[in-house]
Chains A and B, each alone.
Chain A
């Protein structure tokens, strides 16, 4: 049992929204408490305060201190859930996945096991494990005690988005650079920026044309130093720009795709929780 008198100050600070001092007070209970169970609760409390401050990485590390504590299964489950959630929020997706797998190993029959399903799905999403995400989402919706039509509909939408043809294929900067090496401007078109492609090709043609006119008029040195100098700047600059645009647009497209799936996953969780 959690001794509420021990936590009175920390709890009231937390309730008042003073998370910085609340975290200190929870840590104080952790440091001075003699009972392992109270230390365990203090650690969970501190993680709660750190989460409110957005310090998920620190919360994840602090929670690790309680992994070896001997407590009942429900509390251990809560600890592992918090660790997985904080690892996910801290952007450490491989750690989050490892913790999710440990939860399945240790707590497969736990009555609240479905609480971890959303974190698991989001982790698969961020790791771009599309097949596992598809299978997991189906298992989640079909086996949830509160499954309903809305969740089924959202699942279908996810299944559709995760079909091979609908997943954005990454734009390779190397390919974009290769295109622009042989056909000026084409790398930019490949990267989804035809405007930049046209501008670059036009600039190269203009500088070459200028070099040609200068040669035609007998200004050979000026043609070499000015016209061809400008041409090489536009040519090599165009190759580099194509690679950068491909990388940037690829990331943006994937982020949009992942956000749309994440939105659907959260909607599934909400529909299952509100039933």
Chain B
């Protein structure tokens, strides 16, 4: 008996690696959670960095909490990296997968996000199964895969409080994307060649178009006035006509870029709305 106790103590002293013991690690984890709840995120991360987890479950908890802290700090890429390390046995597995995939969606890594969501083996009629379908529908919209979205949307039930209204919103985003006029930079340039500013109005920048027209018209009329009064050789005519020409060409070029700018703004705005509607259900379901 004495020998076995001695051997146990000997083993513990010699072979358990330095750092925190399991019980202490668990206490530290509680303390880190307390810091996270207080929004002391830098401090929480520091504490978590110094935990040396002795068991796989503790390791999972540390990965999850570190990923969560980084997610709260909007450091989405490293957050996803840590969340996706949480093993399948952990009670945080599902939450970590969903949030990891969401983080990746937010940083334009939609293919990876899809892969993670497809990898979840969830029953279709459960809340989590429906959440998986909903998140994949959001990803389809982000990828502008309308067929994919329509297939996913067929499975929307509207019966889960956590994302019933977001399902409706997703339909609206789809409709907006489908109805979005495909504006062409070439047409915008052509329109502004015919009537200065018209290309910008076509691009959806009405105020810029009107102002552009006024500038070009004012300079053009001034040049015409000097032409009429002093003739084509006068310095006043040449200088104002040159400026009017620069304004005219600049306006055409501005119309071309306005279409690209407008398309980018539209896509950015709608992507933000899609991501927002993907995010809210996760917070509702896992908080």
Q: What residues of chain A have their CB less than 8 Å away from a CB belonging to chain B?
A: 20-21, 23-24, 27-28, 31-32, 217-222, 225-226, 229
Contact = CB atoms under 8 A, between A and B. Distances in A.
B42 to A, nearest CB: 8
Contact of B43 (A23, A32, A222, A226): A23
B46 A225 contact: no
A186 to B, nearest CB: 29
Classify chain B: how many residues form its interface, as a range. 20 to 34
A219 B218 contact: no
A24 B41 CA distance: 11
Contacts of B150: none
B46 A21 contact: yes
Given A24-B46, A27-B35, A219-B229, 7 more contacts: A28-B31, A31-B31, A32-B27, A222-B221, A225-B225, A226-B218, A226-B240
B234 to A, nearest CB: 11
25 contacts: A20-B42, A23-B43, A24-B46, A27-B43, A28-B31, A31-B31, A31-B34, A32-B27, A217-B229, A218-B229, A219-B229, A220-B225, A221-B221, A221-B222, A221-B224, A222-B222, A222-B236, A222-B240, A225-B219, A225-B221, A225-B222, A226-B218, A226-B222, A226-B240, A229-B218
A63 to B, nearest CB: 13
Nearest to A58: B40
B226 interface: yes
Interface in B116-174: none
Interface of A is mostly: helix
B278 to A, nearest CB: 32
B274 to A, nearest CB: 35
B47 interface: yes
Contacts of A24: 35, 43, 46-47
Instruction: Among A23, A27, A218, find the residue whose CB has the most chain B CB atoms closer than 10 A.
Output: A27
Interface string B220-239: 01101110010000001000
Interface of B: 27, 31, 34-35, 40, 42-43, 46-47, 217-219, 221-222, 224-226, 229, 236, 240
B31 A32 contact: yes
A225 B31 contact: no
Contact of A219 (B27, B42, B47, B225): B225
Contacts of B225: 219-222, 225
A254 B47 CA distance: 45
Contacts of A221: 221-222, 224-225
A27 B34 CA distance: 10
A207 to B, nearest CB: 14
Contact of B46 (A20, A217, A218, A219): A20
Contacts of A20: 42-43, 46
B31 A219 contact: no
Contacts of B222: 221-222, 225-226
A32 to B, nearest CB: 7
Instruction: Among B46, B218, B222, find the residue whose CB has the most chain A CB atoms closer than 10 A.
Output: B222
Contacts of A219: 225-226, 229
A132 to B, nearest CB: 36
A115 B35 CA distance: 33
Contacts of A23: 43
Nearest to A28: B31
A64 B226 CA distance: 75
A158 B101 CA distance: 63
B203 to A, nearest CB: 25
A28 B24 CA distance: 13
Nearest to A227: B222
Minimum-distance CB pairs A-B, first 4: A225-B218, A221-B225, A222-B225, A222-B222
Contacts of A27: 35, 40, 43
A113 B47 CA distance: 39
Contact of B226 (A31, A32, A222): A222
Contacts of B219: 225
B238 to A, nearest CB: 14
Contacts of B43: 20, 23-24, 27
A204 B225 CA distance: 23
A222 B228 CA distance: 11
A274 B227 CA distance: 84
Contacts of A31: 31, 34
A32 B226 CA distance: 86
A19 to B, nearest CB: 11
A145 B19 CA distance: 56
Instruction: Among B35, B46, B224, B229, find the residue whose CB has the most chain A CB atoms closer than 10 A.
Output: B229
A23 B44 CA distance: 12
